[in-house]
Amino acid sequence: MEKKIVLLPGDGIGAEVINSSKEVLNAIANKFGHSFQFESHDIGGVAVDTHGTPLPDETVEACKGADAVLLGAVGGPKWDQLPSHLRPERGLLGIRKALDLFANLRPVKGFEKLLHASPLKETVINGSDLLIVRELTGGLYFGEPSERRDNGNAVVDTLSYTRKEIERIVDKGFQSAQLRKKKLTSVDKANVLESSKLWREIVEEKKADYPDVEVDHVLVDAAAMKLITNPDQFDVIVTENMFGDILSDEASVLTGSLGMLPSASLAENGVGLYEPAHGSAPDIAGKGIANPIAMILSAALMLRYSFGLDKEALQIEAAVEHVVNDGYYTADLQVENGTLLNTVEMTEQIAKYIDNGY
């Protein structure tokens, strides 16, 4: 298979870990006989410095012409004081919009070796393993009007969704469930919100299209509690934008480490964008010690969701799991009697497991 992949390294450790995903993808290409072409473009603070904008047109064009996009991270203290249209985060919001990325997938998987670092280790007995499918382009964050009234003493935010917007994310939830344990939990607030009532109706209608998937509905407040007390009851969660934002940060705590969590942002038929759940980590940028695993697992999601290469994705995930279980770790993790590696060494270790098996 021949694919063109655009790399958007961005800022801070983004630029350090993006190379790790490239190296691991090269190992996969060698092993399975694929050809991946890489092309790098600027986004975020580095793009402000070199092009005067966090999202140059040529970056958008390159992404639209690619088979998939891998993004490191954007932002850092250097750009914090800029006016809002020049902030690095604008680059990220802009590319999400330009590619119409409406579905954000966050797998949350704990590793046995790391669980002692989770504050929830008592409840997370087997390590959690679930996927949150979050709507990314609608809801409160994009609702019009959003304004101050009464001389600034009253406010309005609008939670707006169309049937079409709900249908496509619910479909993505069902399809993701089919790729896993065929169990879907739809999270809403249908006892209060009109938007949630429509959401729930649509999930009920869609059930007929996916008879192999078991579905239940959980109110968001109860879901927040159950994620902590009984995470094993979930496999795939599908939910609207703000609920998904909050629940995915909450769920990340289950694993005890931010440096391990990948994400995928998908369009209906177009290019997907894959990035670690963590940010640019200015406090450790430039030291070469960042954990590359979230970025490497994001590349695995790219193989699965954009290219349909599930076997290859599983190979990366298995290599990561073996490396971690063999006691290799980076400075952000806590492992007793293990082997501490820097970014490059961790990447090489994972690539080696792919090359040679274990």
The catalytic residue positions are 141, 189, 221, 245, 249
Show the site string, 71-110: x = touches ligand ATP by CB under 6 A, - = not: --x-x-----------------------------------
Is residue 283 at the binding interface for ligand ATP, with CB under 6 A as the rule? yes
| 206 to 37, 173, 174, 202: CA distances (angstroms) | 38, 11, 9, 6
Is residue 196 at the binding interface for ligand ATP, with CB under 6 A as the rule? no
Show the site string, 275-294: x = touches Mg ion by CB under 5 A, - = not: ----x---------------
Dihedral Cα 285, 111, 275, 180, nearest 10 deg: 180
Q: Which does 290 bind (CB under 5 to 8 A by kind): ligand ATP, Mg ion, none?
A: ligand ATP
Is residue 345 at the binding interface for ligand ATP, with CB under 6 A as the rule? no
> Which residue's beta carbon is nearest to the bound ligand ATP?
279
Cis peptide preceding 83, ω within 30 of 0: no
Whose tokens are 């177009």? That residue is: 270
How many residues bind ligand ATP (CB under 6 A)? The answer is: 15
Is residue 291 at the binding interface for ligand ATP, with CB under 6 A as the rule? yes
Q: Is 282 annotated as a binding residue?
A: yes
CB count within 10 Å of CB 179 equals 12
The answer to whether 271 and 63 are in contact (CB under 8 A) is yes
Sign of torsion over alpha carbons 256, 259, 261, 265: positive
Q: Which of residues 128-187 bind ligand ATP (CB under 6 A)?
A: none
Q: Is 224 annotated as a binding residue?
A: no
Would you say 252 or 306 has its CB closer to Mg ion? Answer: 252
* Distance of closest approach, residue 279 Cβ to Mg ion, in angstroms: 5
| 304 to 45, 71, 101, 299, 312: CA distances (angstroms) | 30, 17, 17, 9, 8
Would you say 111 or 234 has its CB closer to ligand ATP? Answer: 111
Q: Which two tokens stand for residue 345?
A: 């060494």
Give Cβ neighbours of residue 13 (< 8 Å, ≥ 6 apart): 72, 73, 278, 280, 281, 284, 285, 290
Q: Is 304 annotated as a binding residue?
A: no
Would you say 321 or 332 has its CB closer to ligand ATP? Answer: 332
Q: Using the rule CB under 6 A, which residue among 130, 284, 299, 302 binds ligand ATP? A: 284
Show the site string, 33-72: x = touches ligand ATP by CB under 6 A, - = not: ----------------------------------------
* Distance of closest approach, residue 178 Cβ to ligand ATP, in angstroms: 31
Would you say 272 or 279 has its CB closer to ligand ATP? Answer: 279
CA atoms of 220 and 285, how far apart (whole Å): 36
CA atoms of 200 and 224, how far apart (whole Å): 18
Would you say 128 or 330 has its CB closer to ligand ATP? Answer: 330
Give Cβ neighbours of residue 85 (< 8 Å, ≥ 6 apart): none
Secondary structure of residue 10 in the 3-state scheme: strand
Q: Is 56 annotated as a binding residue?
A: no
Write out the residues near ligand ATP by the rule CB under 6 A.
Answer: 13, 73, 75, 258-259, 278-281, 283-284, 290-291, 294, 332
